[in-house]
Amino acid sequence: MFLKKSKLFIGTGGKAVEIEQLNRQKIQESVEDSKEDLNIELLAEVSSTNDVAKQLLNEHADQFSLIATNKQTAGRGRSGKSFYSSLDHGLYFSLAFQPNTNQIEKIPLYTILAAATLVEVLEKYIDEPLGIKWVNDIFYKGRKVIGILSEMVTTGITQEVPGIVIGMGLNLAGDFTQADEDIQAVAGTLFGQELPKNFNQNKFLGEFVTRFLMYHQNFSEEKFLTVYEEHLLGRGQQVYYIVNNKKYEGIIQGINEKGHLLVLKPDQSIETLYGQEVHFGSQQFMTQKE
């Protein structure tokens, strides 16, 4: 189901809030100097934007695709965990494309790239800095407001490395009274209960794609790593983490050139963390500032 109307009214706290609906032409107009064959798909409702992105990547492997919606019914995060997508004002979108590298070990850096792009573009709309909990969660005012899920996809064309799909879920505005207690304990929004007048989701998506493509087209320079580390939560602080169901402690030192997390252990050795099996409890980052 594709969006047709330009305005949408959503009730929050008894009020009717007018927001501009997703619009392909307005997103495209906000994308500057794109060298990519950009395909934009806007859906009124979808189970998961990543699922649609995977399909598009298989059908149009030579295109750079953006899939976006305000209603996602089966969003998911790392390790198959569900991602709450029932907020009054949520924006859920995915990118599907061929990575600008022939080194498969470099592809995970696109998660770092996406996070760096989000904080750079969003910070002009908010009044405090964003923080990144390694590797794929973004916090604002001590609450998780954005989740990122990157997935490699083998397409039908002959290539040295797989394609990539990156899904991003943004908690724009609303509350979590209908969510379970675990989500209520850590989740927050970028804008409180209602969207501000200065935030237009079409313009934001165009700005995001523009910035993302700049980093993508100059991927080998890896300038996004500096932005990411500047926003990394927990640097110099004692944290705990779970690896293969075992709990460890250490002090976050930063990231290396591969985007792996460096942790100083109690025996003064440095451990390098990477991969899906590493998990950090979100609540220990909720009061931390950069």
Q: What is the mean pLDDT of residues 61-73?
A: 92
Give residue 75's pLDDT band: very low, low, confident or very high (50, 70, 90). low
Question: Which contiguous run of DSSP H or E holds residue 137?
Answer: strand 137-140
Q: What per-residue confidence (pLDDT) applies to 57?
A: 92
Q: Which of 93-102, 163-172, 278-287 is the least confident region?
A: 278-287
The per-residue DSSP string of 163-178 comes to: EEEEEEEEEEE---TT
pLDDT score at 177: 84
Residue-wise pLDDT for 197-223, tens only, equals: 999 999 999 999 999 999 999 999 999
pLDDT at 101 over 50: yes
- What is the chain's mean pLDDT, rounded? 88
Residue 76 has pLDDT above 90, yes or no: no
pLDDT score, position 19:
66
Structure-block tokens of residue 118:
């989000």
Name the pairing type of β-strands 89-97 and 64-69: antiparallel
The angle subtended at Cα 182 by Cα 180 and Cα 183, nearest 5°, is: 70
Higher pLDDT, residue 208 or 178: 208
| Strand 89-97 versus strand 130-133 pairing type | unpaired
Q: What is the mean pLDDT of residues 118-142?
A: 96
Using the structure block, give the residue that is written with the tokens 């899939």. 67
Q: Is 4 exposed, middle or buried (0-12, 13-18, 19+ CB in 10 A)?
A: exposed
What count of Cα atoms within 13 Å lies in the side-chain half-sphere of residue 236?
5
pLDDT tens for 1-56 read: 344 333 443 333 444 445 689 999 999 999 987 666 789 999 999 999 999 999 99
Q: Give the model's confidence band at 85: pLDDT under 50 very low, under 70 low, under 90 confident, else very high.
A: low
